[in-house]
Structure 1
Amino acid sequence: MASVNAPRGMRDFLPADKARRERVLAVIRERYRAHGFDEIETPVVEEYARLHAGIGGDNEKLAFNILRRGLDADAIRAAAEDPAALTDLGLRYDLTVPLARFYATNRAELPAVFRSIQIAPVWRAERPQKGRYRQFLQCDIDIIGDASARAEAELIVASLDAVAALSLADASVRINDRRALDAMLDVFGFPADERPGVLITIDKLDKIGASGVAAELRERGASAAAVDAFEAFVLRTQTSQAQPYGEAQIRAALPEGVPDDVVAHLVGVGESVAAARGGEDAPLVFDPFLVRGMGYYTGTIFELAHPSVPYSLGGGGRYDGMIGRFLGQDVPAVGFSIGFERIVDLVEAGAGEDERSVVLVHDRDVPVARLLALKSGLVAEGARVRLEQRTKNVKGLLARAAADGYRTFATVSATTTRDDLDLKPLG
């Protein structure tokens, strides 16, 4: 007998779960729109060549590719060693590559500075495990056409506003710049050809510590003097006095030699975020060893943090070189993605529920016309209404309705009118 389970790494959502997800999405959409972003939609598939153009980082290896239509067995055998000959399309593995293609296609009809929302599923051939799925939802906002620090600040302010509206206050953003990272590696003495691998190891700093990173770099055969310089810098004596985000904090966290314009850009982001929040300190933390693995980042990078969990709840960065791959000229672009699957697990059940919802528990002999008239009247008043025939286990029936998000109930007999309905709370 065929399995009735969803494919590995993919999930079904029961009504209560789906309703909760939609409530969270509605809040995110509303806050993003309030900040001037407009929602777009792109196809779930893109051309194979575009998805494997070297701009998607390791995600390209996780793409689900679609077999060309009409290939017979001989054609498949002949092309077995060439995936590009077997496939011409693939499921999108993120929303950034499709956005770059969308902008290149529709640029003439878009404003000079375009602020987009994309909320849609993506697919990656991950190894399924807790918190990691093969199909999941991404919530992205991006700004295309603005190279200034204002763009990063707008994204950060909008994203913090969205999570605060979900009752996840006290969120903060870790921030860095890939140009600062590259300058540090240059100061330490890592040759250019070693740096991609060095960054992969440095990205583990939070997990294995400075000594662990240094040991792994030595095992990888990285330049010994550069590893020593990195380790000495990370383990240097530092003041324990906390500093607010700003130039002093940033320069104290960096070695000499990082370009002034990179520091100025980071400072500008903080000043703009602080101004948007009425002058209070920006909830930003400069992290000189924040890496983020996507190879297309060209400048500022950031991750969303919350004190309730040890992992990030989203992130993003500037990818000024990607759109130029399609247009032949670079266009500044920066994006922020909320990790929806992680966020939704933190939002309390029922958060955002403000709708009127009623279960009408009726006897078997109540005429259908009366039931539908009562239901239609409540719906016209703005309520969400479910009809349930009375069972022996009324308590179980009501418990299921409460689990599905209903808040009140009323019993209906053959003579009940709208004025007779006695709405009682569930639970």
Structure 2
Amino acid sequence: MKMDNSPARGTRDLLPATVAVRDHVLARITEVYHRYGYQRIETPALEDIARLTGGQGGENEKLIFKVLRRGLTELPGSLDELADLGLRFDLTVPLTRFYGNNHAALPVPFRSFQFGPVWRAERPQKGRYRQFNQCDIDLIGEESVLAEAELIEATTEALAAAGVPGVTVRLSDRRFLSALADNAGIATEAQGGFFITLDKLDKVGWDGVRKELVSRGVAEAQVDGVQQAITALQGLEEAKLADQLTDAVPSLPENVAADLVATTQALAELAKTRELDWEFDPTLVRGMGYYTGQIFELSHPGSSSSVAGGGRYDRLIGRSLGKDVPACGFSIGFERIVDLLDSAPRVDTVAVLHEADVSPAEVLAVARQLRAEGRQVTAIKRRGKFGAQLGRLEEWGYTSFVHVKAGEVAGERVLGSRESS
């Protein structure tokens, strides 16, 4: 029987041209993050299943790829008991374990940069894959909103450098949402479900949110109160933010409003120096259960979903370290950024096109001389019709070529120009 050579569902093979775009995006992002002092770390793909299912991953905990324990001789009563490891569904949960194990050897505050694959058992569809890359920065040990402001500034700069300027920053705060729920009379133990439902607002609208909240036991009058408060807070200006927040949600702590104002002031200053829009968005929730403070997302007119998101998670590290540590992070939707770019900038790439009777030593000597100039050079044997081969070289991304015959090296010619035809 012929074997199916297609990749597993929800995964994909990447051709050189696609990888070139990805390499370009990662290089530009890395360059910016390094300038801000973020240091690259790596964590394993596999994590203890108890850590991944600790109740902090929101809906993503339902999408974990679990790994069966080795040495099983009989099946236990529960299918869940078969697994002791799982593939990570994000880079934040592994980071908290990493910091708990290695904090004594790390600077304070610690600026972490991660890039790597994560796995979720998604239903495969356009823009959603079961294996995809995340690109994260996290600032651990900084309790002030300097962390939030710096993360947003660094990430918007990184995306602009990668070729995706013109993003809009959407900002909210989990403490604001908790106060909003308290003000509406929603019990503390029911607020997790309230957040999950509210997070679906952009997909199902208020009618869908209302229906689901009522099914969760929230009264119609409570839903009305939440909707009125949120509607009143949309489109606020920086100067009115603190007053209108406390007017709409009287139980909101003063420090929460002050923190939000400090972050928006930093964004307003940043917007004077680059193409950037921002807004306070009271409907922003973010699905992870570990957020404790400000949360934010970046949107772009070319993408139907956010292109980056993050927030503060001051209590997550404590699960590994035994004491809470202030922490804030930002994750770029790497696949979505790549999808926004048609191609990477053309790189100066030279083909050393050699005839069959030219010795390897001569071919390599020509290529070596060109590489010494810092250029990307590939030796390729001459075959078939000359013009057709030049056309293929251009399709493959080569910008110029040198034709090498026995005892003769023709001058370099640019591909696509009249003189190369």
The normalised TM-score by structure 1 is 0.90
Tell me the SS of whatever aligns to 1:295. coil
Q: Does 1:210 align with 2:206?
A: yes
Q: How does 1:167-316 map to 2 (within 5 A)?
A: 167-234=163-230, 244=237, 246-249=238-241, 251-252=243-244, 255-257=248-250, 258-275=252-269, 283-316=277-310
Check conservation: 2:109, 2:141, Cα contact below 8 A: yes
Structure 1, unaligned runs of 5 or more: none
- Alpha-carbon distance in 2 for matches of 1:394, 1:201: 63
Amino acid at match of 2:162: L
Cα deviations by residue, 1:293-343 (Å, 9 ceiling, x for unpaired): 101111111101112223210101111111001111100111000000000
Alignment partner of 1:381 out of 362, 373, 377: 373
Check conservation: 1:356, 1:382, Cα contact below 8 A: no
Cα deviations by residue, 1:132-160 (Å, 9 ceiling, x for unpaired): 11111000000000110000011000000
Check conservation: 2:390, 2:415, Cα contact below 8 A: no
Tell me the SS of whatever aligns to 1:288. coil
- Alpha-carbon distance in 2 for matches of 1:208, 1:125: 23
Q: Which residue of 2 aligns with 1:60?
A: 61
Go from structure 1 to structure 2 and tell me whether the alpha carbon gap of 1:370 and 1:20 turns closer, same or farther (over 3 Å shift): same
Go from structure 1 to structure 2 and tell me whether the alpha carbon gap of 1:387 and 1:80 turns closer, same or farther (over 3 Å shift): farther
Between 1:380-389 and 1:143-152, the stretch displaced more is: 380-389
- Alpha-carbon distance in 2 for matches of 1:40, 1:425: 41
Q: Which residue of 2 aligns with 1:30?
A: 31
Amino acid at match of 1:350: A
Amino acid at match of 1:81: S
Go from structure 1 to structure 2 and tell me whether the alpha carbon gap of 1:216 and 1:59 turns closer, same or farther (over 3 Å shift): closer
- Alpha-carbon distance in 1 for matches of 2:86, 2:212: 36
Q: 1:206 Cα shift? A: 2.4
Check conservation: 1:214, 1:231, Cα contact below 8 A: no
Check conservation: 2:138, 2:329, Cα contact below 8 A: yes
- Alpha-carbon distance in 2 for matches of 1:344, 1:313: 10
Q: Which residue of 2 aligns with 1:10?
A: 11
Q: Does 1:123 align with 2:119?
A: yes
Q: How does 1:358-373 map to 2 (within 5 A)?
A: 358-373=350-365
- Alpha-carbon distance in 2 for matches of 1:426, 1:2: 41
Tell me the SS of whatever aligns to 2:47. strand
Q: Does 1:390 align with 2:382?
A: yes
- Alpha-carbon distance in 1 for matches of 2:149, 2:89: 26
Tell me the SS of whatever aligns to 2:408. coil
- Alpha-carbon distance in 2 for matches of 1:295, 1:186: 18
Q: 1:247 Cα shift? A: 4.5
Tell me the SS of whatever aligns to 1:201. helix
Check conservation: 2:166, 2:275, Cα contact below 8 A: no
Amino acid at match of 1:406: Y
Q: Which residue of 1 aligns with 2:109?
A: 113
Check conservation: 1:210, 1:235, Cα contact below 8 A: no
Q: How does 1:27-106 map to 2 (within 5 A)?
A: 27-72=28-73, 75=74, 77=75, 79-84=76-81, 86-106=82-102
- Alpha-carbon distance in 2 for matches of 1:268, 1:52: 35
- Alpha-carbon distance in 1 for matches of 2:205, 2:320: 40
Go from structure 1 to structure 2 and tell me whether the alpha carbon gap of 1:403 and 1:303 turns closer, same or farther (over 3 Å shift): farther
Amino acid at match of 1:198: F
- Alpha-carbon distance in 1 for matches of 2:20, 2:79: 44
Between 1:16-25 and 1:56-65, the stretch displaced more is: 56-65
Q: 1:275 Cα shift? A: 4.4
Q: 1:80 Cα shift? A: 4.6
Between 1:213-222 and 1:54-63, the stretch displaced more is: 213-222
Cα deviations by residue, 1:340-364 (Å, 9 ceiling, x for unpaired): 000011124133x4x4310122222
Q: 1:171 Cα shift? A: 1.1
- Alpha-carbon distance in 1 for matches of 2:301, 2:79: 47
Go from structure 1 to structure 2 and tell me whether the alpha carbon gap of 1:281 and 1:340 turns closer, same or farther (over 3 Å shift): closer
Q: 1:216 Cα shift? A: 3.9
Q: 1:102 Cα shift? A: 0.5
Check conservation: 1:350, 1:405, Cα contact below 8 A: no
Check conservation: 2:356, 2:382, Cα contact below 8 A: yes
Q: 1:274 Cα shift? A: 4.1
- Alpha-carbon distance in 2 for matches of 1:285, 1:225: 28
Tell me the SS of whatever aligns to 1:89. strand
Q: 1:10 Cα shift? A: 1.2
Check conservation: 1:274, 1:281, Cα contact below 8 A: no
Check conservation: 1:142, 1:334, Cα contact below 8 A: yes
Go from structure 1 to structure 2 and tell me whether the alpha carbon gap of 1:81 and 1:216 turns closer, same or farther (over 3 Å shift): closer
- Alpha-carbon distance in 1 for matches of 2:208, 2:58: 25
Amino acid at match of 2:381: Q
Alignment partner of 1:409 out of 392, 401, 418: 401
Task: Note the aligned Cα RMSD (angstroms).
Answer: 2.3
- Alpha-carbon distance in 2 for matches of 1:71, 1:401: 54
